[in-house]
Amino acid sequence: SYPANVKMVEVGPRDGLQNEADIVPTEIKAELIDRLADCGLPVVEAGAFVSPRWVPQMADSAEVLAAIRPKEGVNYPVLVPNVKGLERALEMKVGEIAVFGAASESFTQKNINCSIAESLERFAPVMEQARGQGLRVRGYVSCVLGCPYEGDIAVSAVAEVAEALYKGGCYEISLGDTIGVGTAAKARAMVEAVAARIPVSDLALHFHDTYGQALANILSCLELGVATVDSSLAGLGGCPYAEGASGNVASEDVLYMLEGLGVETGVDLDRLIATAWWISERLGRKPASKVALARGAK
């Protein structure tokens, strides 16, 4: 059986846009976030307080946050890699941050320039200070179903990092198939290993769709009771530190599947599709999602 309700976490404005080569204007980013909130999405990841040299597209996250029209009841988390990022987030009075680790040593080095152990040491004061200031902290684990540099990743490595972040104070752990290589049975086994240490209600699925397996993987993990799914409208995205990785699973594809299962999300499919076409037009291309293409631009 499937959960009666699923929380959809929209990561398009961050994970989706971070990989765009051309800088997207601040006003477009802010309008995208507002449009997504108007679709009924309860969480819209709004940016990243990371080094602008590492990810130039996210350099204007403070300006984006200042430009949005915050909607009651919607969370607008931002990524934070260190205390410096937390300070920037606190200045903007965000309600939620996300720290991001990985189950692979090589990916951690490429992405945040340190080892897994160092990353956890770095996140400790971030999580503690954020919580002391009343912020909620989400934790990402990347490379849960494979690494662009190391190939297969042991589920025990995923479970260890996930548990460390959870014990450090993250209220939710998002499991990232960063390069979209996973398949359904593998995804299930990985979630089962993590769920042996963390309540399944506090896990989220963050699957990229490089090999077209994301929906199948999500479906197989919903059966285990996971009820939070990250996605990106129009299938935007990739990962700057994982060459060849395509975007997140498209939000409208996930929503179409959930509606078919009778799962409640509170998200309006027609509006989401219209928003997928809107941002795609601004980026000069068609949406990467089957559902948006099937329905066409309205």
- Contact residues toward ligand HMG (CB under 6 A) are 15, 18, 48-51, 54-55, 79, 81-82, 84-85, 88, 100, 111-113, 140, 142, 176, 178, 206, 208, 239-241
Q: Give whichever of 220 and 246 is closer to Mg ion, judged by the CB atom.
A: 246
Q: Which of 252, 246, 179, 191 is nearest to 218 (CA)?
A: 191
Which partner, Mg ion, ligand HMG, none, binds residue 112 by CB below 5 to 8 Å per kind?
ligand HMG
Which partner, Mg ion, ligand HMG, none, binds residue 19 by CB below 5 to 8 Å per kind?
none
Q: How far is 66 from 235, CA to CA, in rounded Å?
A: 26
Q: How far is 134 from 92, CA to CA, in rounded Å?
A: 14
Q: Which amino acid is at 13?
A: P
Q: Give whichever of 142 and 289 is closer to ligand HMG, judged by the CB atom.
A: 142
Q: How far is 205 from 94, CA to CA, in rounded Å?
A: 23
What is the closest distance, in whole angstroms, from the C-beta atom of residue 262 to ligand HMG in the complex? 28
Contact call for residues 250 and 210 (beta carbons, < 8 A): no
Q: Give whichever of 45 and 295 is closer to Mg ion, judged by the CB atom.
A: 45
Please give the C-alpha separations between residue 232 and each of 39, 108, 237, in angstroms, as whole numbers: 13, 23, 7
The alpha-carbon radius of gyration of the chain (Å, integer) is 17
- Site size toward Mg ion (CB under 5 A) is 1
172 touches Mg ion (CB under 5 A): no
Residues belonging to the active site: 239
Among residues 10, 15, 60, 252, the one that binds Mg ion under rule CB under 5 A: 15
Q: Give whichever of 86 and 141 is closer to Mg ion, judged by the CB atom.
A: 141
